[in-house]
Amino acid sequence: MNINLYNAQLENLYIHKVGNRARNEQLFLSQEPYELNDEIRPLLKEFFLKPFREKDLQFYKFSEDSILQEILSKKDDLPSFGDIEKSIATHLYSCGKHPHIKTGELYVCGLENILIENEKIYALGIFKSEVKQEFIQFEQTETRLDAILKEGVNLNKLDKGAIITIEDEPRVLFIDSNRYDTKYWIEDFLGVEEMEDSDFHTKKYLKFCENFAKDVVRPAEDKQQEVLFMNRAVNHFASHDEFQEDSFLNAVLENPELIPEFNNYKIEKGEKYKIEDLTEFPISNTAVTTIRKKLKSVINLDTNIQIKLDFINPESAEKFIEKGWDDERQMYYYLVYFNKEEK
């Protein structure tokens, strides 16, 4: 799903300090919003939103027992906030049940002008900074400069964050840079689960195909056919708006003997990818583009030679590359046809 944060604007920013409840640290709740000025507003916006632009994130939904969803559902004063930010901070404090959870600053703000699929959406931003870095600040006296060691937040790294759309069915994006306490942020605080939309189905099905290619196609044929199968699979998704499994298999599996292998593999592995009963669904072009960038189209040979195949033009790999066996050398070979070497 396409989200655009370029024109997002921060508003009603509250900053609280959330200690570790398990260590009997305190919770400090600000009673009034922080006054953003023209100097710090763009810095905080970049601090909060940069991780969401840099990573390939998918939307999640609140689980039925999410306390955060319950807090939001009882508030009818968004986007004016009221005391919602205090309830959120108190809930996060209650989740600090393990002594390893770090004390940190909690930032709660409104986010205006977020675009999702070109639709303007209002959202709630919840961010937390935990890891502090040392820095030196200098003070000038009449006779010298004094170096004073201080500790602060690195604006280049946000520790935890969530963007929650304010809709009848909220959607949640989150990041967590400190993976050692993922349960604390994702499960205990946010209380979210995967949203099974077109993005989800597209990514899961193609990930399943990628593992089928590795586990079945490659042993049955070779690395070239593994790469070409995924090549055809991605291009099929890219050229269709709706996925139909029967037409997909007929189009991408050139060896018909692999179709029952595919069906058996789906029975065995489908539940792991949550596609066991999935045979048709809308295709997400955004997800296809993301997956295409990640797929490896390289054949690595034990002679320290790589052959890179083009995912955009699969016919080139099939038309201009031949695999064979050399009896004299007792080695496999790839024969590559071309007209000229390109610069």
Gap between the Cα atoms of 327 and 44, Å rounded: 66
Strand partners for 10 = 111
Q: Which residue range(s) make up the domain with 104?
A: 3-195
pLDDT tens-digit map of 134-188: 999 999 999 999 999 999 999 999 999 999 998 888 999 999 987 777 789 999 9
Are residues 252 and 232 in contact, defined by beta-carbon separation less than 8 angstroms?
yes
Q: Please calculate the CA angle 259-265-268 and round it to the nearest 5 degrees.
A: 150
Same-domain pairing of 188 and 216: no
Which own/partner contact pairs does 177-183 have at CB distance under 8 Å and 24+ positions apart?
177/51, 178/102, 178/130, 178/131, 180/100, 181/98, 181/100, 181/101, 181/102
Same-domain pairing of 182 and 223: no
Asked if the structure places residue 143 within a domain, the reply is yes
Identify the residue with better confidence: 111 or 297: 111
Q: How many C-beta neighbours within 10 Å does residue 178 have?
A: 16
Count the alpha carbons within 13 Å of 84 in the hemisphere toward its beta carbon: 24
**Residue 296 pLDDT level (bands cut at 50, 70, 90):** low
Q: Is 162 exposed, middle or buried (0-12, 13-18, 19+ CB in 10 A)?
A: buried
Global confidence as pTM: 0.76
Total structural domains in the chain? 2
pLDDT tens-digit map of 173-217: 999 987 777 789 999 999 999 888 898 999 999 999 999 999 998
The answer to whether residue 313 scores a pLDDT higher than 70 is no
Q: Which of 134, 161, 195 is the C-terminal boundary of a domain? A: 195
Same-domain pairing of 11 and 119: yes
Most confident of 42-51, 75-84, 302-311: 42-51
Strand 27-28 and strand 9-18: pairing?
Answer: antiparallel
Asked if the structure places residue 342 within a domain, the reply is no
Asked if the structure places residue 140 within a domain, the reply is yes
* DSSP 8-state class, residue 62: E
Same-domain pairing of 24 and 157: yes
Strand partners for 243 = 281
Gap between the Cα atoms of 334 and 237, Å rounded: 29
Asked if the structure places residue 341 within a domain, the reply is no
Asked if the structure places residue 92 within a domain, the reply is yes
Tell me which of 59-63, 233-237, 318-322, 323-327 is least confident.
318-322
Same-domain pairing of 122 and 29: yes
Asked if the structure places residue 76 within a domain, the reply is yes
Same-domain pairing of 150 and 191: yes
Are residues 261 and 233 in contact, defined by beta-carbon separation less than 8 angstroms?
no
**Residue 27 pLDDT level (bands cut at 50, 70, 90):** very high
Are residues 115 and 157 in contact, defined by beta-carbon separation less than 8 angstroms?
no
* Helix, strand, coil shares, percent, the chain, to 5: 35, 30, 35
Tell me the angle at which helices 198-212 and 258-269 cross, rounded to the nearest 10 degrees.
120
Same-domain pairing of 49 and 177: yes
Same-domain pairing of 168 and 305: no
pLDDT tens-digit map of 259-275: 999 999 999 999 999 99
* DSSP 8-state class, residue 55: S
Same-domain pairing of 179 and 233: no
Quick one: tokens of 298?
């390289």
pLDDT recorded at residue 77: 56
Rounded to an integer, the average pLDDT of 228-237 is 89
Same-domain pairing of 23 and 89: yes
Same-domain pairing of 219 and 256: yes
Strand partners for 238 = none
The answer to whether residue 316 scores a pLDDT higher than 70 is no
Helix (H) or strand (E) holding 140: strand 132-140
